[in-house]
Structure 1
Amino acid sequence: MRTRVAVIGGGPAGLLLGQLLHLDGIETVVIERRSREHVMGRIRAGVIETGTAELLRRAGVGARMDAEGLAHDGALFVGPSAELRVDFRDLVGRGVLVYGQTELTRDLYAARDAAGGVVIDRAEVTAIEGLDGPRPEIVYRRDGREGRIACDYVAGCDGHHGVSRRAIPAHALREHARALPFGWLGVLSRTRPTHPELIYARHPRGFALCSMRSAEVSRHYVQVPLSERVEDWSDARFWDELRARLPSWAAEATTPGPTIEKSIAPVRAFVAEPMRWGRLFLAGDAAHIVPPTGAKGLNLAAQDVGDLHAALRAAILEGDEAALDAYGPRALARVWRAVRFSWRLTRMLHVWPGADPFEERLQDAELAHLAASRRARAELAEAYVGLAFAPPEGGAPAPEGA
């Protein structure tokens, strides 16, 4: 098989890149290790930044998001000695949308099908050859048979455990990682959300987050040690623990209900450099993972895709390969700002094993400072709703909050 861009990974990042390139008349093939049903069934993020929403609309997949997504103009931050609402709209003039990544993936698959785009699922990539030459090839196995895809460029959108990053020689790859000593136990339930906006709660028992995927589906989290097992958490235990960590008014507003999905996700930070090697370009979780506290994972992946699309379009349609050289440094500058923001929120809101009273009082002071300082709230709001989204036609990174 021959194509211009081979995209490894059929999740939101890979599908969005394929859709944007399709609109430019650039042929792509998407190859995915798992089945389509598995990909569309994964429970993931739900907060969509302004820049991400604009990119999805430009890709022609924003109609259902705009019709069904929930507009959020602020979020609540509560602790033992402070409770405040950070008003995004008032502070920086825009908010976010809540729209589940599962639904976004369905929209992208529908667009791919409507365009007649090729998605090879249940295919295991076994090798990526010729990345240092003009014609790379993807080697894969599907149903016991080997296949090959010859291409001009390879986009690695296959997540943290995918093969793309491993195709970069060890001597050229730098990996920065920090694993935190706790995880998030998350429950998806068909229950009314606790509050119209997200609640971030710091409590001596641990962090808690009240979120949602729609007006009828809630997504809640509690911080747990990594030694915990999902099977040890009954629904009743989860709801009791969640409500114990919330202010009394929020606990009373929380409606327990049967679990649709329950899982424990580790909290970690990871950044790989470079994001380009020869004809290979990494995007999304293949290159970076940030703590989920800042709701940056999906949005960073979309920003990568927006930049990579602009660079590939310039190289393929205009013969401007300089844009490809700028992709990695531009993306990494944005990624490290997102790591900084997510790490700051994580540090402020979680209970850290071994923390002494000095560190706990510093956390109190951080929340108190947010409550007292409009400038501090504006800085948080600016980062939360969009650190620096790429202009549609590429170019230099926008200032934070642009």
Structure 2
Amino acid sequence: MHSYHPLSHHYILYQVFCFNNSQREFYNYAFVNSQWNVTVSPFLYKAPKLIERNVEKCRQTLCLAKEKKATLAYNEMVREWNIRDAELAYLISDYCPNIEKISCSGEIANARAYPSMIHDLIKSWKNLRSISLSHKNGTDESLTQVSIHCTELEELVVVNGEVTDLGICEVVKRCRKLKEITLHSCKEITDETFVSMSKYCKLSKLQLKHCPRITDKGILALANPTFTKRLRYLHLEDIGVRDSLLALAEHTNTLEGLCFNRLKDVDDEVVSAFGRNASYSLKQLRVYSCRSVKGWGVMEFGGIKGLSLMMDTLGLEQLSGICEYCKDLEDLTLDVRRIVTADSTMDIVREISKLTKLKSLAIFCGKKFHSSNVLQLKKNCKKLKQINFFRILD
């Protein structure tokens, strides 16, 4: 992005545009006048999304910009690229030297003709801050190249990758600026990876999903103040751990977001432990399909703003306690199908009505919830602007 003088019109416009994420609106801004066009161009070209009929036009635009025949250096504005075609990826690597984020999230056309594509591109983009690899692109060889050439890396995402501890550990050891790591369905990753993380990383975000070889030993290695002092977001899904989370909770007093999904061994004691130690900082809590969690552990999170509970075991008594203690809730998602009866719908509404600061509500309910319940909620919760009822028949 360009840097402008703080007193210039460009600077003011730039600050305003930072609050917008709509590519369509950026496109419209470019036609207001020349000043708006110049300021909005870095946003417009930051992450271009190409469709087949526009590929050649994009090629010409970038070529002219590289040869200094265009009004603006459009090629230098491109920062993000989702690789879907190998030939086009090589073109972008030639024309756009400032790429900071790449992702290989799906099938890549012409990939067989370029077996060393990922290695070549990583060498071209040494300023990478974020890389997302999936399937055959996520290998130990790819991560070794990342560790050698991308020392400024801040975010690593590997989904369904063929990586082992060797590849992840190389990145962790060499890329010392890592802030966010996501490992999804990496079936060969073991506790060794987390021992390395505890030594070399100070993460702000950690997501672990469906990595079956992770045990309490690996999570326990992370349970130290050096690793957790910057940890802001923790997402754990479908891994077999429990006791190590109690130790981790003792040191995570800066968490802002916590998500437990399909953790069969996690119970209210674990949830409560995180609530006690991060009660002042935590703003978002999500508990999905954790059958041992009954709900009373959530009452430790008195200051949270957002809560999502998709649990089969949630009862009216637990709901009452949550609404009593979590007074500051602004965003609430609940699955109340198991406690909905002909006589309980108004009881549920009565409990939720205690949340006077509630702005958004989503309820997964049975067929016995009626429009009158919606009207009653709107009447009782004056700040409630968005309400969604999802009627799911059991």
- For this structure pair, what is the TM-score category when the shorter chain's length is used for normalisation? under 0.3
Larger radius of gyration: 2
Q: Which has the higher contact order (CA 8 A, sep 6+)?
A: 1
The structure whose residues are more often strand, as a share, is: 1
Tell me the TM-score normalised to structure 1 length. Answer: 0.23
